[in-house]
């Protein structure tokens, strides 16, 4: 059933099957690990990979992987890391790709399709996000309970998918239970994804708040939809790196985003490690 989903989704993309086979074959030539779990690390969160891998790991630069895009945004390492976490084979993407970098939809979703082809069944998507809810302080981790696609791009044509949760409810509850046990500062919220690359104006922030969003970023929404189409269970985690314009008078910089992300990565590492330990 899942194989049929993967084939159906691949039939919608522009990159040929030969490219996908070449990419997967190269990764297999570098490492014999068959990952069951995939993790995508957002801006400033790349060092989480070093914290959660059990022992030795294989690091494959994106630049060496056939047909793989290259990240251009600071804070995205640009590596595929394969190894074991709690004796579970995992694949970690240190960095992702964005529409505002000039990539096409097909390009930014290519790595998600490769993870599915490698055997990933559960995908954890992380991101650095701007806070829209003043009750969720900077430095918090937020489990994404739902999302708003403000990128005006629709994926898939199967109307039976409408109304189905994007994020796995069992994984959400598991993450919350772990956070409570580990005494981590974690909330739940709705993530809204915009194309970027500019940060939002105070008026736009007010609009997104009225739409019911708790945090905003420039990634994740399309990846989560694609992962669902490919039959993966998805968990989303945002790191609140700043409050949106107008909520605070402070001027926002990308350096600030990276700094808060790196400081929060320790808590994220604890959460992910415990999740891997408890995911069936």
What is the full DSSP assignment across 151-208?
Answer: S-------GGGTTS-SS-HHHHHHHHHHHHHHT--EEEEEEEE---SSPPPHHHHHHH
Please confirm, yes or no, whether 10 is among the known catalytic residues: no
Please confirm, yes or no, whether 128 is among the known catalytic residues: yes
Q: How many CA atoms lie within 13 A of 105 on its CB side?
A: 16
Exposure string over 215-235, b if 16+ CB within 10 A, otherwise e:
bbbbbbbbbbbbbbbbbbbbb
* Residue tagged active-site, from 218, 226, 227, 245: 218
* Residue tagged active-site, from 219, 224, 228, 238: 219
Please confirm, yes or no, whether 100 is among the known catalytic residues: yes
**Can you tell me whether residue 216 is helix, strand or coil?**
strand
Please confirm, yes or no, whether 67 is among the known catalytic residues: no
Please confirm, yes or no, whether 218 is among the known catalytic residues: yes
Residues 237 and 126 sit within 8 Å (Cβ to Cβ): yes
In terms of DSSP H, where are the helices of the chain?
2-10, 17-30, 48-52, 105-118, 169-182, 202-210, 221-229, 254-278
Instruction: Report DSSP state, residue 219.
Output: S
Please confirm, yes or no, whether 76 is among the known catalytic residues: yes
* Residue tagged active-site, from 101, 200, 223, 274: 101
Please confirm, yes or no, whether 62 is among the known catalytic residues: no
* Residue tagged active-site, from 100, 121, 149, 151: 100
* Residue tagged active-site, from 228, 242, 261, 267: 242
* Residue tagged active-site, from 93, 128, 175, 215: 128
* Residue tagged active-site, from 204, 254, 256, 269: 254
* Residue tagged active-site, from 43, 127, 133, 261: 43
d(CA 129, CA 139) in angstroms, rounded, equals 10
* Residue tagged active-site, from 76, 199, 228, 229: 76
| Radius of gyration for the chain, computed over Cα atoms and rounded to the nearest angstrom | 18
Residues 277 and 90 sit within 8 Å (Cβ to Cβ): no
**Between vectors from CA 179 to CA 225 and to CA 277, what angle results, nearest 5°?**
75
Residues annotated as catalytic are 43, 76, 98, 100-101, 128, 218-219, 242, 254
């Amino acid at each position: 059933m899942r194989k049929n989903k993967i084939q159906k989704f691949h039939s919608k993309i522009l990159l040929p099957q030969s490219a996908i086979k070449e990419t997967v074959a190269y990764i297999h030539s570098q490492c014999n690990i068959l990952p069951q779990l995939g993790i995508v690390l957002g801006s400033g969160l790349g060092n989480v990979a070093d914290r959660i891998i059990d022992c030795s790991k294989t690091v494959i630069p994106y630049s060496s992987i056939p047909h793989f895009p290259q990240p251009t945004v600071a804070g995205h390492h640009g590596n595929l890391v394969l190894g074991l976490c709690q004796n579970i084979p995992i694949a970690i993407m240190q960095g992702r790709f964005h529409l505002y970098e000039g990539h096409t939809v097909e390009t930014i979703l290519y790595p998600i399709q490769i993870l599915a082809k490698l055997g990933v069944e559960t995908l954890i998507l992380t991101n650095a996000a701007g806070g829209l809810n003043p009750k969720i302080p900077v430095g918090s981790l937020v489990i994404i309970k739902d999302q708003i696609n403000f990128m005006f791009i629709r994926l898939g044509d199967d109307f039976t998918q409408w109304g189905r949760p994007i994020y796995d409810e069992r994984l959400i509850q598991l993450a919350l239970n772990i956070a409570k046990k580990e005494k981590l500062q974690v909330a739940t919220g709705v993530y809204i994804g915009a194309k970027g690359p500019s940060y939002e104006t105070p008026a736009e922030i007010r609009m997104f708040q009225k739409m019911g969003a708790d945090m905003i970023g420039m990634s994740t929404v399309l990846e989560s939809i694609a992962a669902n189409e490919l039959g993966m269970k998805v968990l989303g985690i945002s790191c609140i790196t700043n409050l949106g314009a107008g909520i605070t008078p402070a001027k926002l910089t990308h350096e600030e985003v990276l700094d808060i992300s790196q400081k929060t990565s320790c808590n994220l590492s604890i959460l992910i490690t415990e999740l891997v330990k408890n995911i069936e």
